[in-house]
Structures are given as structure tokens and as C-alpha cells.
Amino acid sequence: MTALLTCAMAFSMMQLFLLGALGPRLVDDLEVSPTVLGLATTVGFGAAAVLSPVGGRVVDRVGPRRCLVALLLVSAVALALIGAAPRAWFLLAAVALGGLPQALANPATNRTILAAVPAERRASVTGTKQSGVQVGAFAAGLPLAALAGLVGWRGAVWTAAATAVVVAVWAARALPADPPPTFTRAAWTPRGTIAWLAVFSLLLGCGIASVNTYLALYGVRRLEMGPTAAAALVAVLGVAGIAGRVGWSKAAGNPGHARWLPGGLAAGAVAAALLLAASAYGRPLAWVAAVAVGVFGVAANAVSMVLVMQRAAPGRAGQDSALVSGGFFAGFALGPPLFGLLAAAGHYGTGWLLVAAEFAGAGVVALAWAARDRRTVARR
């Protein structure tokens, strides 16, 4: 089951990692600007942010199995349409469709874990399945990018679409049947801990999305790498993110430690963004920075999901997961267009400093919440 949930998370965001890893090829073939490439990310995550509250409600009512199968099938359709895109507008429409799997991913996988995994193993399983997002980044940045060099970027995207269909069949056969529908009062705005985590996730998402979308293009245009080598930067980030999410999520299994982890990881992400800015003067720093973004910035999102599962109200795991995810997706929608304006003008260094500021803001929010939460627990 853990492997299946990991695959579901990978395909929920595969289309956006492919945009980043294959960005240099798409920019040339479809004649789109770096700003439009950032807009594609905005459209995808904007749709996910809008749909997330509804997606969480749907998962809580109809069950995670149906939602996971739907997630994978819609991902396959979105990838197939991206591969068929004749112009930029068609690409944007296909990416918007890909917002639905993102909206369902965390609520459905978290509900599955709460229903089927013993409490003492939930943190480690959550970290492993959250690493699926970075498995998607690795797949986009290395094997699929290499395949694109052989059969073209469209063939590589269609291969990913076919694989998503196979995983959907696996999910339909392997997952336990959904429980009877439940009816809980809908909540469309986050409150308490969930609100703090949503704001943290928004700022974190702004920075991570900018790195995911523009790292390969930065490698080609500023560091003078080839397209395959630049895509490998995304793959390195993905591998580091897998290790970071699994490791830090296990550490978050201790609630006392978990409250301080998001702030500490955000601080590490600030250092990573500053290394990216410095890499213009030393290319090897880009590889170190990619690893650091994965270990710290990407891992912080997995820790926030562990916290959601620890703090979610009974019967509301899907909705609370969706509200925090909605903040993260909103950050993914806002970050790349801002960076894209700087990238279009050639100001990548300034863009990485903007990313550092976004990570710093996330750190301030996380540490403020941790201090408040500790005081609240101490008064009980």
C-alpha cells in the first residue's frame, strides 16, 4: 500500500515537474516565453488551490479509494493532452485539468493512512508517500528527460500518461473498499493550527515552485549546461527531497519535536536559495543548492502533513489536509510568475534572493506558531 500511495503522489504533480524538466524543449518547440512557462505552473496550482477545499470534502464523503483511482485517471488524461499540445493555450488548459489530481492527492492518501496504518507507523508512512512527489521530480528530471532526447518530449509525456493508467488499475484492485459515506459539516476556511500551517505552506510553496519551474532553465541559460544536464538538477533535487521527506517525517513522529521542525527546515531552505544565487559565480554550487532545497525546503511540506494528521479533528482529516494543501498550491500559483518576470529580464540572481525571502517568511510563521503552541500546551 505504501508503494501505491507513493505512486499516486508522484502522478498527482507529474505534469508540473515535466514542465520544469522539459522546459527548455517546450520553450523552443511551442515558442513560449519563460513568463508563459511560469504561467502554466500558476494555472495548474491555481486550479488545485481553488479545488482543494472541495476535494477534501469529496474524499471525506465518498472515500479515498474512489478518489485515488479518479486522481490517476485524470492525471493520465492531463498528461496525454500536454503531449498533444499544439500551442501554448492548449498546454495551459491541459495543466489546469491537472489541478484536480493535486487537489485530491493529500486528502485521499492521508485518509487511507489513518484508516489502514497503525498510529505508531503513520509518520514514517506519511513521509514515504510524500516522497512520491519527489519521485515524480526524479522521474521527470532523469529517465523521462533522457527518453525525451530519444523520442521527443511529446513521446516522453505520453509514456508517463500510459504509466498512470497502469497505476490506476493497480489502485482499483489493491486498495480496500471505501467505508460508507460520512457526513461532516464543511469548513471552507482553516482555523487554529491548520490556519498557521496553511500560511506556512503558502510561503513555502512560493519558493519551491520557483525552484522546480526555473532550475533547469537557469542551468541552460545562465550556467551554460546542456538540456539533459540541466534536467538532472531537477532529478538531484528530487532524490534529495525523497531522503529529506522520509527522514524528517520520521523525526516528526514525536509531537514535541514536530512543532519546531518546520521553522528549522525553512531556515535550511533559505541557505539553499542563497547558494543558488551564488552559483552564478561557481557552477558546482548549483548542485549543492539543489540537494539542500530537497533536504530542507521540500521536506518541510511532508512534515506539515504529519502535523495535520496529528492535529486533525475527528472525521475531518480530508478537509484539514486539503486546506493546508490549498495554501501550498496557492504558493505554487503565485511564486513562478513573480520569478518569471525576473527570469525574462535575465535577473536570476534577484529571483533566487526573492525565493530566499519567501522561505524566510515561512520560517518566521512556523517558529511563531511553534512558540504559541508550546505556551498553549504548557498552560494545560
- Give dist(CA 130, CA 114) in Å, integer: 15
What was the pLDDT predicted at 314? 65
pTM listed for this prediction: 0.79
What's the one-letter identity of residue 100? L
User: What are the Cα distances from residue 359, in Å, to 268, 272, 331?
Assistant: 9, 10, 11
What was the pLDDT predicted at 297? 93
Mean pLDDT of the chain: 85
Q: Are 216 and 341 contacting, i.e. CB atoms less than 8 angstroms apart? A: no
Average pLDDT over residues 345-367: 95
Q: Is the dihedral of CA 208, 213, 214, 219 positive or negative?
A: positive
Q: Are 353 and 211 contacting, i.e. CB atoms less than 8 angstroms apart? A: no
Q: Are 206 and 49 contacting, i.e. CB atoms less than 8 angstroms apart? A: no
pLDDT digits (tens, 9 = 90+) for 198-257: 999 999 999 998 998 889 889 988 898 887 788 788 878 878 888 898 888 888 877 777
| SS3 track for the chain | CHHHHHHHHHHHCHHHHHHHHCHHHHHHHCCCCHHHHHHHHHHHHHHHHHHHHHHHHHHHHHCHHHHHHHHHHHHHHHHHHHHCCCCHHHHHHHHHHCHHHHHHHHHHHHHHHHHHCCHHHHHHHHHHHHHHHHHHHHHHHCHHHHHHHHHHHHHHHHHHHHHHHHHHHHHHHHCCCCCCCCCCCCCCCCCHHHHHHHHHHHHHHHHHHHHHHHHHHHHHHCCCCCHHHHHHHHHHHHHHHHHHHHHHHHHCCCHHHHCCHHHHHHHHHHHHHHHHHHHHHCCHHHHHHHHHHHHHHHHHHHHHHHHHHHHCCCCCHHHHHHHHHHHHHHHHHHHHHHHHHHHHCCCHHHHHHHHHHHHHHHHHHHHHHHHHHHHHHHHC
Q: Is residue 268 very low, low, confident or very high in pLDDT (cuts 50, 70, 90)?
A: very high
What was the pLDDT predicted at 115? 78
- Find, among 276, 165, 175, the residue nearest to 217 by Cα: 276
Proportion of the chain above pLDDT 70, given as a percent? 93
- Find, among 280, 305, 295, 297, the residue nearest to 332 by Cα: 297
What was the pLDDT predicted at 65? 86
Average pLDDT over residues 318-342: 85
- Find, among 206, 238, 211, the residue nearest to 362 by Cα: 206
